[in-house]
Copies of this chain bind each other. A is one copy, B any other.
Amino acid sequence: MAGTTTGPGEAALEAALDRAAAGCLARGAQLTELRRQVLKLVLASPHPVGAYALLDQLRAARPGAAPPTVYRALDFLQEQGLVHRVERLNAFVGCAGPEAHHHCGHGHDHPHQFLICGSCGATAEICDDRVAAAVADAARAAGFFPVRTTVEVEGRCAACAAMTQAAPAAVR
């Protein structure tokens, strides 16, 4: 195994960044060096990462970086569908499947849901059309015109649930 919880390997990471840059160009936008650096940090993190944590890491390469530096980059990356914000955590994650979603018919502003483990912090992105449809239906039934939907589920991931059952006392 190359990296268990350390994120993707360096080579795969650079390849993903190149793909992201190409996608931006195709949409008439530009993945600048700064934005690329921020995206790299987000993708390299195994868990959602706060803006100020990104800022700390970013300062290694850019000593003058300040909050607006990273927030502007994150806004851009969100518009490009490369990064999502996790509202419950005030944190950011790389999109799990920017090109996989193209394959299943979704653009760069695709519906998504998060499964957040309250025990280990792991956050998984899923893309369930039934959920998206149910939410859109319920909203329209109330005379509402949905634009953007946030679905975040807090609970236990499979690994943590198994561990809790095996050794309940080991948590604390």
Residues of A within 8 A of B (CB): 87-88, 113, 115, 117-118, 124, 126, 128, 130-131, 133-135, 137-139, 141-158, 161
Which listed residue, B126, B135, B144, B145, touches A142 by the CB 8 Å rule? B126
Decide: B138 and A126 in contact? CB cutoff 8 A: yes
Cα A138 to Cα B125 in complex, Å, equals 11
Q: A130-B138, A144-B158 are in contact. List 12 more A-B contacts (CB 8 A).
A: A115-B139, A131-B135, A131-B138, A134-B135, A144-B153, A144-B157, A145-B158, A147-B154, A149-B153, A149-B154, A150-B150, A151-B151
Decide: A147 and B156 in contact? CB cutoff 8 A: yes
Contacts of A117 on B, CB cut-off 8 Å? 144
Interface centre among A118, A134, A143 (most CB of B within 10 A): A134
Identify the closest chain B residue to A115 (Cβ).
B144
Cα A115 to Cα B135 in complex, Å, equals 10
A134 in contact with B128 given A149-B154, A155-B148 (CB within 8 Å): yes
Interface centre among A137, A153, A155, A158 (most CB of B within 10 A): A153
Decide: A151 and B126 in contact? CB cutoff 8 A: no
Cα A63 to Cα B122 in complex, Å, equals 42
